Structure 1
């Protein structure tokens, strides 16, 4: 506990890792040079006893403290590792490190090289050949190295692969995907283990995706967000009436339309997570077809301007609202908070960014006077406005925000209010002065030009669990105000990160 009796919440393991991170240079690196480590084939100790999770936590801690060095990574690559994520130290990753993985970490089955842009295609091919028991591989944003021929090598050698992430690998085309499918199928024969494939922002088209669907009938998670040439990949399977096992499907920013969504819902009855955000060709008709499947728990239609709340969303909520946990309606106008509150009792994430004229009209036979609270964990109202008929706009906003408290219970952790119209000190203090915000860990108030330093101390008092407060670009918060707030946080022993500029 700290001096105010507040639980710090660190486990013994976390404390030990923090101490190691603080003293790693003087304890473990003072008697050995980086060149020696670089040229050594094997390094025995002192971290052989650490499991994969602890090793990863130590790497992330060193990075967070801005202490991570190349020699630390050389020390931490040991033979017991089964998983490693190089996303954080991606700037250090090159072909030399990949080569060292081959003989230092023979048990690896999960590797992430996300954002490791210095790694070449040759190194990735060597990695695929060396780790043929690999189950998880993330090559996101390795856009110069991850090309079509690399996928053939992965398909030939990684027969146990269950998850393949290729987001941002913009040089991947249908040719590479088809080669991967054929090589993987040949290597596995009847044992097609791949369950998750992500091809965000690649060059894949309907033809390539059909090859994926034909090869991996048991695929459960598929993401092709940003692939604008995806229009109707499921149409050719309609005559066969063979069902797919997909449960999570991300088609955001693609060219799909109402007809293609109808084909998807016909062939994928087990879908529970659907993302069709920013698909310009889907209308309220799409919602009708989605209503034909059961079990939808997450639904995102951000930026779908041809879908309306009254005609499209209300029927969806009547059909799926009871089990819905995530709802993203960003960019939609005339959202009725009362309907969401009444029809979605299990909602955990509600995103209404850039929504205009949000209201809380007690329509649809809804009694808004009930004291029932939801258990929302994340609420995003960035750049949104409120409307309440002929009422004063400030009064409407205040009424809506008061009603939003009914969503929060005492579970809200993330609250986004950046650029939200009419946010003032009094409104913030009135809104946050409730027990339901005791669990809030992140509050974003960027570009809220009407708030002053008067409300910031109140925020810290009302939100004892707050870990990050983002007040960047708030015009009335000065450098002096920021320093005073940090001093006040130290005074009350509130360990919060304040973002300001």
Structure 2
């Protein structure tokens, strides 16, 4: 049975009560008399003596209950704060709030301003200049520009993670200011490990700016701790560095040339081969696998798009990989990546598949059997257009063999989505149902299960799994069956099982009706279960 609702901790109850009454008890006088006054550095009030983690939790409670206001922010931006996120309330993040942040919260180590588009570049620059202890900063979707990045490079020497995705005032060329200060001729951000820069387009300036590949290549050379750089042109930058064709990449805007930056890494012509410490690479096309593997021999995670099969031999030799995403745009059969997975499978902890075509359960069995140590499996698969139009003539005989006798004993996340196809899907179910049943029976550590848009009935799968010894699904916490065929009886069995369910998604389940949903919720309320059920 899902967990019963626990009695909230006393601190949590106090904070909820405080959040409920802040407007009437503490904020009214401040709003009427002091809200627009910015000449004071600190405010003496009832929150000053609270520990930083308590203030952070109070801010979260206010945000979750939609009670966070400008006055509340004025009172709670305190020196003891170490983490702050304004992404739940971007409309409150004004230039005035930025001034208070810079004045009062100089001990912050984590700041999330995602989507706070009202903050001007000057305000963002003043904030980051005043926060030298920052280790994590999210500026995605803001007005951050090159001046902001220059301020980060000069002052935030402990920065480890930065997200500037979809900042319209930035392009790959501006990112160089994170790694090098042209004015003082010194390198910056020596501890930066993760830089997310998706959606940054190269802004035209008459053709004199370096190409995205050159700018990103400079970053890869100049940031010695960088493990992940998220931008679509990273494979191009790796190819540029691998080919060592750097003669045209001269010193621009005061930044060192790529030839000089290469020497920082200890690589010399005819000598030490240049490699990079990247641990995560994405947007890798199959034809670039040899280059990317040579440049990033220590990579542990890769997102690879397969095309003609020419690079699969390189992929098999990538011995450091433990998290792999494979995609294809041509609807290749799910059996296509099996030879690669038979080589890499024993070392993989996570596997994600996109775009492959699932004709039956045999290929899925081969994929899972090749990866016995998986902890997470995610697949968005296509079905043939005629799925389900040919129904079996008679009920299939019971399966006497177990498709996955050893299963994936370490698996904690399993997600399978099937798109396309027509009809009831019974023909597909005869081969895929036994695979899912076997998997659930052996995955005793499974915590998150998503079976989306499955066209055949899942009742036999869950009935068999719940009746198996062990019992399976004891650790299950999140279950999504959106768009799949499952009955109310099966859901009631799940509610009565010994699982730890706290979230269930039954959206677009055609066999679940309003009376079923009302019955589920009545059971949840009657038994005081800590379970959220979504249905529509």
Q: Which residue of 2 aligns with 1:274?
A: 302
Q: Which residue of 2 aligns with 1:289?
A: 314
Q: Which residue of 2 aligns with 1:69?
A: 69
Question: Is 1:246 paired with 2:278?
Answer: yes
- Map residues 5-404 of structure 1 onto 2, 5 A cutoff: 6=4, 8=6, 13-14=11-12, 16-25=14-23, 28-29=26-27, 32-33=30-31, 36-39=34-37, 41=40, 42-142=42-142, 145-183=143-181, 186=184, 188-189=186-187, 192-203=190-201, 205-224=212-231, 227=232, 229=233, 231-238=235-242, 239=244, 240=267, 241-249=273-281, 251-252=282-283, 256-276=284-304, 279=305, 282-303=307-328, 305=330, 309-310=334-335, 312-315=337-340, 317-334=341-358, 336-356=363-383, 368=403, 370-371=405-406, 373-383=408-418, 392-404=427-439
- Deviation digits for residues 334-383 of structure 1, max 9, x if unmatched? 5733334433232111001224489xxxxxxx995635551211111122
| SS, match of residue 347 in structure 1 | coil
More strand as a share of residues: 2
Equivalent in 455, 460, 464 of residue 421 of structure 1: 455
Task: Give the length in aligned residue pairs.
Answer: 473
Which deviates more from structure 2 when the two are superposed, residues 5-14 or residues 258-267?
5-14
- Deviation digits for residues 407-442 of structure 1, max 9, x if unmatched? 521x22221122111135454444455532222222
CA separation of 1:298 and 1:13: change in aligned 2, threshold 3 A: farther
Q: Which residue of 1 aligns with 2:205?
A: none
Larger radius of gyration: 2
Aligned equivalents of 1:170, 1:301: Cα separation in 2:
30
Q: Which residue of 2 aligns with 1:362?
A: none
CA separation of 1:367 and 1:493: change in aligned 2, threshold 3 A: closer
- RMSD between aligned residues: 3.4
Give yes or no for contact 2:290–2:311 (8 Å, CA) kept in 1.
yes
- Deviation digits for residues 206-260 of structure 1, max 9, x if unmatched? 1221121121133112222xx3x555211232245211111122x23xxx43343
Aligned equivalents of 2:499, 2:182: Cα separation in 1:
52
CA shift, 1:129, in A, is: 2.2
CA shift, 1:300, in A, is: 0.8
Aligned equivalents of 1:184, 1:53: Cα separation in 2:
39
Give yes or no for contact 2:328–2:356 (8 Å, CA) kept in 1.
yes
CA separation of 1:433 and 1:63: change in aligned 2, threshold 3 A: farther
CA separation of 1:221 and 1:53: change in aligned 2, threshold 3 A: farther
CA shift, 1:198, in A, is: 0.9
CA shift, 1:330, in A, is: 2.4
- Map residues 453-492 of structure 1 onto 2, 5 A cutoff: 453-462=488-497, 464-492=499-527
| SS, match of residue 288 in structure 2 | helix
Aligned equivalents of 1:5, 1:124: Cα separation in 2:
44
Aligned equivalents of 1:406, 1:343: Cα separation in 2:
18
Where does structure 1 differ by over 6 angstroms across 4 or more consecutive aligned residues? none
Q: Which residue of 1 aligns with 2:253?
A: none
CA separation of 1:433 and 1:199: change in aligned 2, threshold 3 A: farther
Bigger RCO of structures 1 and 2 (CA < 8 A, at least 6 apart): 2
Question: Is 1:440 paired with 2:476?
Answer: yes
Aligned equivalents of 1:191, 1:146: Cα separation in 2:
17
Q: Which residue of 2 aligns with 1:497?
A: 532
CA shift, 1:17, in A, is: 4.1
Aligned equivalents of 1:282, 1:121: Cα separation in 2:
42
Aligned equivalents of 1:107, 1:479: Cα separation in 2:
51
Q: Which runs of 5+ in 1 are unaligned?
A: 359-365
Give yes or no for contact 1:341–1:374 (8 Å, CA) kept in 2.
no
- Deviation digits for residues 10-51 of structure 1, max 9, x if unmatched? 656545544544554466446643652453632234334444
- Deviation digits for residues 86-142 of structure 1, max 9, x if unmatched? 222223212111111111112123211012122221211111222234332110122
- Deviation digits for residues 427-484 of structure 1, max 9, x if unmatched? 4444455532222222222223x44433332232236422222222334444443333
Give yes or no for contact 1:460–1:494 (8 Å, CA) kept in 2.
no
Question: Is 1:412 paired with 2:419?
Answer: no
Q: Which runs of 5+ in 2 are unaligned?
A: 203-211, 245-266, 268-272, 388-400
Aligned equivalents of 1:475, 1:370: Cα separation in 2:
32
Aligned equivalents of 2:507, 2:32: Cα separation in 1:
40
Aligned equivalents of 2:474, 2:274: Cα separation in 1:
50
TM-score of the pair, normalised by structure 1? 0.83
| SS, match of residue 352 in structure 1 | strand
CA separation of 1:292 and 1:75: change in aligned 2, threshold 3 A: same
Give yes or no for contact 1:110–1:134 (8 Å, CA) kept in 2.
yes
